[in-house]
Structure 1
Amino acid sequence: MPQAGLNIGSDYRFDVLTATGLLTLPTLLRFNKKKITNKLTVKPLNTLPIHLSFQEGGWEGTFEVSRADSTLDDYFAALEAAYYAGVNQPSGFIQETIQEIGGNISTYQLQGVVLYFDDAGDVEAEKNVIQKVSFLASTRIKLS
């Protein structure tokens, strides 16, 4: 639900769909995504700089989960076992659903997603364990 005419984190829902099905993240704390672009500045001697942008890199991002169960550990253990068994690992999707200020729903899909288990979490007494995952995606399209 938006507040004061602004989107806030609770307006967003992220569904991670892997080759083995939906990866449920019940304690998603943070999600970050950004477009990968190749930026080039041409610096003519006789005029102002000219900036160019090439859409060739896809998308990248990260998300953090407060560990509440073995979901991420189990997924990446199975992925590692499949890798060493020579099993083909198709890419997945991340679907982003946003409750817009005016009440509409926007849905985007990151396609060709590959996940990386960057940090399985630091374990300390009386602190929650934060697990970190990064991803690369080929493209992001609008579904609705």
Structure 2
Amino acid sequence: MAGNNTFNVGRDGYQITIIDSNAGPVSFSGITSFEAKPAFVKLKSVNVNGRIIHRNVPDGHSGTLELDRQDSSFDDYFANVEANYFAGLPPGAVFITHTINELDGSVSQWQYSDVALAPEDAGTWKGQDKVTERMTFDAGRKIRIA
């Protein structure tokens, strides 16, 4: 049972799973951040009588994953995607599953489909600083699966 004044923290969204139909399950080591944002097209209609009507239409999702580089998984995946493109191969179907530990002890799972991943930053190599890599995604749908 959840206590008073409780709320989710980052580690509650404890698992991100990425499946690529060309590469299979994709494991990125050291994921430190997952951000997801729904997108909506905001429509507005003004009737001749002056009544203003608004409607929001779902328009996919976008987000960012950040990781502290621990191995070559990020570089390997995107180099493979690039090689497939230049070899004339079709892109794989990509899905992201986000698993969350809820405060009441239950588990929720959400799946993003029709995903396109893009590398945004392969990291800066400097002195004793950690190397942070970042990718973005765009998705067509978000569906609750558990």
Fold similarity call, TM over 0.5: yes
**Matching of residue 87 in structure 1 with residue 50 in structure 2:** no
Hey, what's the Cα distance between the residues in 1 that align with 2:54 and 2:125?
Answer: 46
CA RMSD of superposed structures (Å): 1.8
Tell me, what secondary structure is at the counterpart of 2:114? strand
Hey, what's the Cα distance between the residues in 1 that align with 2:116 and 2:94?
Answer: 7
Hey, what's the Cα distance between the residues in 1 that align with 2:123 and 2:47?
Answer: 49
TM-score normalised by L of structure 1: 0.89
Tell me, what secondary structure is at the counterpart of 1:79? helix
- Equivalent residue number for residue 62 of structure 1: 64
Amino acid at match of 2:134: K
**Matching of residue 28 in structure 1 with residue 31 in structure 2:** yes
- Equivalent residue number for residue 8 of structure 1: 9
Tell me, what secondary structure is at the counterpart of 1:37? strand
Q: Is the CA contact (8 Å cut-off) linking 2:29 and 2:73 kept in structure 1?
A: no
Gaps of 5+ in 2: none
How far apart are 1:51 and its partner, in Å?
2.2
- Equivalent residue number for residue 76 of structure 1: 78
Hey, what's the Cα distance between the residues in 1 that align with 2:124 and 2:9?
Answer: 28
Amino acid at match of 2:25: L
Hey, what's the Cα distance between the residues in 2 that align with 1:124 and 1:39?
Answer: 43
Divergent runs of 4+, >4 A:
43-49
Q: What is the aligned length?
A: 142
Amino acid at match of 2:142: R
Tell me, what secondary structure is at the counterpart of 2:115? strand
**Matching of residue 113 in structure 1 with residue 106 in structure 2:** no
Q: Is the CA contact (8 Å cut-off) linking 2:98 and 2:109 kept in structure 1?
A: yes
